[in-house]
Amino acid sequence: MAKLLAHRGLRVTIIITPVNAARYSKIIQYAKNFNLKIQFVSFPFPCQEAGLPEVCENMDLIPSPDLIPNFFRASNMLQEPLEKWLQGLESQPSCIISDICFPWTSDVSLRFNIPRIVFHGISCFTLFCSHILSHHHVLKNVNSDSEPFSVPDIPDRIEFTKAQLPEARKDLKAVMERFKEAELSAEGVAVNSFEELEPAYVEGYRKVVKKIWCIGPLSLYNTNEISSYEHKSLKWLDSKKHSSVLYVCFGSLCHFLPQQLIELGMGLQAANHPFIWVVKEGDYSKELEKWLLEEKFEEKLEGRGLVVRGWAPQVLILSHPAIGGFLTHCGWNSTLEGISAGVPMITWPMFAEQFHNEKLIVQVLKIGARVGAKVIVNWGGREAGCVGEEREHKEGNKSVDG
């Protein structure tokens, strides 16, 4: 987003913390290459003061979901250094764009008389469905976690169960209410989506907020920047037939138990289909490595399957002509990247708003098929039930056995 704004001649300052600044340092080099006016201003993140481990400056670094309230508490502590920084400027910014998770920027906006826009990293479909459920108090009439209910007053017939909705933790209820208040007081919201994708839901949410701008898919802005990037997965894909490879990746926040990863590996092996399987760094364990070695998994599947440990260039992989499908956790970034690449998806939602995204993919856009996950798991998926390698069919619907 900063690059998009800077290319239109604006001066952009990104308020960031040291660990995140190191992660995204390439954006500064990008700005220099194109003479763009982008700068980082780094504030220390108060981990210790909020009861967090050191350098725990990003959600994917939090070792336990129990520390999420501490993370928000630490984020709130950034208000004072931001205000001191603003006081020292010769001229004030013309606008503040802040993530929905930083509601305290509404106080900063009022104090310094700077217009504020809220950024949402989720879909208008999710935003509008969530608003309708809250506005109509739908869940008050739902008696069990497994009882299906319809979302009223929306363009499509969409059903959820309570077990598929993000659980409102008691210790975060006040935080979530403040998020909503801060959104409604902003000049408008910017959403990482595009109107052609979900026009009825953009229009629906337009009636809830003051103004809405769809500015996505932001991931497409990186394509030119990294098109020359070399990774073993891209070279491997060059040797494969058009639309023949399944890409398997579950994002940066989902965590699988070793046994679940082993079952997934067995399923990919049994499917007898080319695949790229990304195992994120946090999920890579001695138990999984032992299984891979004992089964000679990579040796037996050489040429048909590729295991990538750690980071992979997902945007470039999905846009490669050899990719024919995407097994995804339905995080919104991954969903948008799959849609932008024109790749059909197999959906395996786990937590947050991922079941909403599955409904959009499967029922509204009709560009995917469900694995069969039925309930949300705790943040990070650490308590997910194990899904087996085999599949069964019930009443014409695909579901998971195990």
Two tokens, residue 281: 């760094």
- Read off the pLDDT band of 174 (50, 70, 90): confident
Per-residue model confidence (pLDDT) at position 258: 87
Per-residue model confidence (pLDDT) at position 364: 98
Per-position DSSP letters for 4-67, written without gaps between them = HHHHTT--EEEEE-HHHHHHTTHHHHHHHHTT--EEEEE----TGGGT--TT--SGGG-S-GGG
Nearest to 179 by CA among 109, 106, 100: 100
| Coil, strand or helix at 356 | helix
Per-residue model confidence (pLDDT) at position 390: 55
Q: Could you report the per-residue pLDDT of 257-284, keeping only the tens digit for each?
A: 888 899 999 999 999 999 999 998 766 6
CATH number of 223-400: 3.40.50.2000
Question: What is d(CA 392, CA 103) in angstroms, rounded to the nearest whole number?
Answer: 46
Two tokens, residue 234: 């891209």
Q: Could you report the per-residue pLDDT of 198-257, keeping only the tens digit for each?
A: 999 999 999 999 999 999 999 887 765 555 467 899 999 999 999 999 999 998 888 788
CATH number of 2-127+166-221: 3.40.50.2000
Question: What is d(CA 320, CA 186) in angstroms, rounded to the nearest whole number?
Answer: 40
Question: What is d(CA 262, CA 402) in angstroms, rounded to the nearest whole number?
Answer: 13
- Read off the pLDDT band of 379 (50, 70, 90): low
Q: Are 363 and 158 in contact (CB under 8 A)?
A: yes
Q: Are 275 and 305 in contact (CB under 8 A)?
A: yes
Per-residue model confidence (pLDDT) at position 32: 87
Two tokens, residue 154: 């929306």
Residue 330 to residues 123, 266, 289, 347: CA-CA distances in angstroms? Answer: 11, 22, 26, 6
- Assess whether the region 2-127+166-221 and the region 223-400 belong to the same CATH fold: yes
Q: Could you report the per-residue pLDDT of 130-170, keeping only the tens digit for each?
A: 999 999 999 999 999 999 999 999 999 999 999 999 875 66
Mean of the pLDDT values across residues 335-343?
A: 97
Two tokens, residue 350: 């786990």
Ordered by start, the domain boundaries in the chain are: 2-127+166-221, 223-400
Q: Could you report the per-residue pLDDT of 275-321, keeping only the tens digit for each?
A: 999 998 766 678 899 999 999 999 999 999 999 998 899 999 999 99
Look at the chain and count its residues.
Answer: 402
Which residues, 6+ apart, have CB-to-CB distance to 355 below 8 Å?
160, 164, 165, 330, 349, 376
**26-30, 281-285, 293-297, 374-378: least confidently modelled range:** 281-285
